[in-house]
Structure formats: C-alpha cells, structure tokens
C-alpha cells in the first residue's frame, strides 16, 4: 500500500513523494531523485535523522547512538529505517538545495478575481489541477508582466481543483495593480508549496489567531478540518484594523456550521468602528481558549501582532504546548523567506 509523504525541508520547500509501506522513506526519496542526508543506511550513524510532524510509521531497527529513546519519543526518526503506516509529514534537517531538489513549478490561468472590500481582493487559479500542499502553506507567484514574485498562502484546502488566495489591495502594489485589471484566462506561473506554517495533527485544543489577510491560511486549515473532522475544540480570533478589512466572515460562518466545536470572534482595532469587539486580538482571547496552556496556538499576522501575542502570553503566565507563527509583510504577502516558527511563547 502506498502513502503520500510530505518532505518539508529547512528552507520551507515541500516535496510530496509516494512511498510504499514496504519501502523506507529514504529509499522512496532517492528513487525520486531527492537526496536527503544519508551515510550508513543501516541505522547506525544518525545522519538521516528527521522529525515526523504527523502520521504513523514503523521506526525500524537502529542503535542508541543513532537515535535515543528520548529522541524517538519526541518524534525524531531515521529516514533510512522508517516505513510509513499512514501519510506522513516529515521535517528534513537540510535545505532543498542540499537535497538536490526544489519547489515544483506550475502554470495556471486566472479563474476569478473578486473584490471583497475596498482593501481586499480574492483570486483563484485554474488549470494546474489539484495540488498537494499542507494547509497553511504558500506559493511564490510570478506577477504577470514583471520579474517580481510574491508569496501568498492558499485559502483553499489541499487537493481542490482550483486554488484560491486572499490579497490586500495596496494602491501601488504590483500584484494588486495586476489583479485590478486581470481578466479570467490570463496565464500565471507559481512555484511551491513552501512554508513551515501548516496544520499539524491536532492532539489538543487549537487556538487560531489571524491578523488581516493572515486569515487565508486558516481558511485552508478549516477546509481540511471540515473534510476530516477535529477531535478537539478550535477557536479563532480574527483581528483587522478597519471595518473594510473584515472579509471572509461568511466563509467562517459556513465552517462554523460544518465543524463541530469550531467557534470564532472578529475584532476591529479602529476607534471609529462600530464593531461590537474593538481593540487588539489579545483583548478578546478568553481564558478558556488557552486551556491553561494545553493548547496549540497558530498565528498568522503582521510582525507587531506576533510580538504582541508573545508578550501577552508571557504576561498571562501561559506557555502553550506549541506556538506556530508566520509573519507577513504589509502587502499581505508572506515574508519572502516565509518566516515560520515553532516556538515556546
């Protein structure tokens, strides 16, 4: 039986490979020309050590010098020994370049462009077929007519026939300017998927914190949760600066109807807003949503929001079990380096 293995490299590039249950992850990688670090191939040296972010596997046989019991308990494994028992997400401790691979290139066309508000535009791409990615990841889009690339998180779930994205409309922004005039059918190229900000297996309650168009990766994650279900409660606080920035609420309501135990609250920072919840997201995170720290927090928003939430959590005396975050630039694009971190707050 074959499984789908996502190899997530240190630089955020992700390649998906097929791996039979009788095959090691290392053998499947090399069969497809992806040279993950290897030496002894025998479970003795530890060179192929990797981190299994999700999925079930048989760790194989090896000696303690290659992988300690503590490391195995933390989810580390040896690629030359491990065989999948389900789809896996595997973090490789090397860059894609070192492993002689790179992100996949896709050609598509503009499917639709929808102005959601005076500050936000959604667009979709067609023709690339269903694309494998981890919900929360992004692609690097070549802005048509330029040499510039912009990084955008998928707002659609993995495997959808068309891919959708959410963009902040910047007056002189290259992508914004293109989208304002774009017509369906216009060719567009992109490379990906990339990023370490993706939804892991839920082992405890989840708290999603979205800032502005940082909503996009969460829509993708919610799409996956709607399709597969969630055994744990999921709460989202979605903050924006002005009323016009508040988009995608109907999608959130639709997901709340489909996902049991998914709740969300919207927040607007502007003083002038008549929104019922005003200020910053930290003022609207109920203590129950933190579960005393037994919570995985995912945050996607501008850099000041990431810093504010980290400071606020430490002020509350809360250290979440996991804190994954991604910063994006004011244009709404993911930072060029796709900054994503797993860190204690």
Q: Which residues here bind ligand FES, judged by CB under 6 A?
A: 38-41, 43-48, 66, 78, 80
- Tell me the closest approach of the beta carbon of residue 95 to ligand FES, in angstroms: 18
Q: Cα(81)–Cα(213) distance, rounded to whole angstroms?
A: 41
What burial letters (b/e) apply to 208-223, b meaning 16+ CB within 10 Å?
bbbbbbbbbbbbbbbb
- Tell me the closest approach of the beta carbon of residue 92 to ligand FES, in angstroms: 13
Q: Which is nearer to ligand FES, 66 or 290 (CB)?
A: 66
Q: Which is nearer to ligand FES, 38 or 256 (CB)?
A: 38
> Looking up tokens 């999921």, which residue turns up?
234
- Tell me the closest approach of the beta carbon of residue 223 to ligand FES, in angstroms: 36
- Interstrand relation of 206-211 and 187-194 (parallel, antiparallel or unpaired): unpaired
H, E, C per residue of 91-148: EECCCCCCCCCCCEEEEEEEEEEEEEECCEEEEEEECCCCCCCCCCCEEEEECCCCCC
Q: Which is nearer to ligand FES, 47 or 132 (CB)?
A: 47
Q: What angle do CA 227, 228, 229 make, to 5 degrees?
A: 105
Q: Cα(329)–Cα(176) distance, rounded to whole angstroms?
A: 14
- Tell me the closest approach of the beta carbon of residue 81 to ligand FES, in angstroms: 6
Q: Which is nearer to ligand FES, 75 or 130 (CB)?
A: 75
Q: Which is nearer to ligand FES, 47 or 109 (CB)?
A: 47
Q: Looking at residue 69, what DSSP letter applies?
A: H
Q: Which is nearer to ligand FES, 38 or 160 (CB)?
A: 38
Q: Which is nearer to ligand FES, 76 or 306 (CB)?
A: 76
- Tell me the closest approach of the beta carbon of residue 281 to ligand FES, in angstroms: 43
- Supply φ then ψ for residue 23, to 5 degrees: -110, 145
Residue 181 CB neighbour total at 10 angstroms: 8
- Tell me the closest approach of the beta carbon of residue 18 to ligand FES, in angstroms: 21
Tokens, residue 109: 């066309």
Q: Which is nearer to ligand FES, 33 or 292 (CB)?
A: 33
- Tell me the closest approach of the beta carbon of residue 78 to ligand FES, in angstroms: 5
- Tell me the closest approach of the beta carbon of residue 176 to ligand FES, in angstroms: 48
Please compute Rg for the chain using Cα positions: 20
Q: Cα(255)–Cα(282) distance, rounded to whole angstroms?
A: 23
């Amino acid at each position: 039986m074959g499984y789908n293995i996502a190899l997530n490299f240190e630089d955020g590039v992700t390649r998906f490979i097929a791996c039979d249950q009788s095959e090691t992850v290392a053998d499947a990688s090399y069969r497809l020309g992806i040279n993950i670090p290897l030496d002894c191939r025998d479970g003795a040296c530890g060179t192929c050590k990797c981190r299994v972010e999700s999925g079930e596997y048989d760790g194989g046989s090896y000696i303690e010098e290659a992988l300690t019991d503590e490391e195995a308990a933390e989810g580390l494994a040896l690629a030359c020994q491990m065989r999948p028992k389900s789809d896996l997400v595997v973090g490789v401790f090397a860059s894609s370049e070192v492993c002689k691979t790179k992100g996949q290139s896709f050609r598509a066309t503009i499917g639709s462009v929808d102005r959601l508000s005076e500050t936000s535009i959604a667009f979709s791409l067609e023709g690339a077929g269903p694309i494998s990615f981890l919900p929360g990841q992004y692609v690097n889009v070549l802005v048509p007519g330029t040499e510039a690339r912009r990084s955008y998180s998928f707002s659609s779930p993995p495997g959808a026939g068309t891919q959708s994205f959410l963009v902040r409309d910047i007056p002189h922004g290259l992508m914004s300017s293109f989208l304002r005039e774009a017509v369906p059918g216009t060719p567009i190229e992109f490379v990906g998927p990339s990023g370490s900000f993706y939804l892991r297996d839920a082992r405890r309650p989840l708290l999603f914190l979205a800032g502005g168009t940082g909503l996009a990766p969460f829509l993708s994650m919610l799409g996956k949760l709607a399709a597969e279900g969630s055994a744990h409660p999921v709460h989202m606080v979605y903050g924006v600066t002005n009323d016009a920035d508040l988009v995608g609420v109907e999608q959130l309501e639709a997901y709340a109807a489909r996902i049991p135990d998914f709740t969300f609250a919207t927040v607007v920072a502007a003083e002038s807003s008549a929104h019922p919840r005003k200020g910053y997201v930290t003022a609207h995170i109920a203590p129950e949503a933190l579960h005393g720290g037994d919570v995985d927090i995912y945050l996607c928003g501008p850099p000041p929001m990431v810093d504010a939430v980290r400071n606020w959590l430490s002020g509350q005396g809360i250290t979440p079990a996991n804190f994954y975050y991604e910063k994006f630039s004011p244009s709404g694009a993911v930072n060029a380096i796709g900054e994503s971190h797993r860190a204690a707050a």
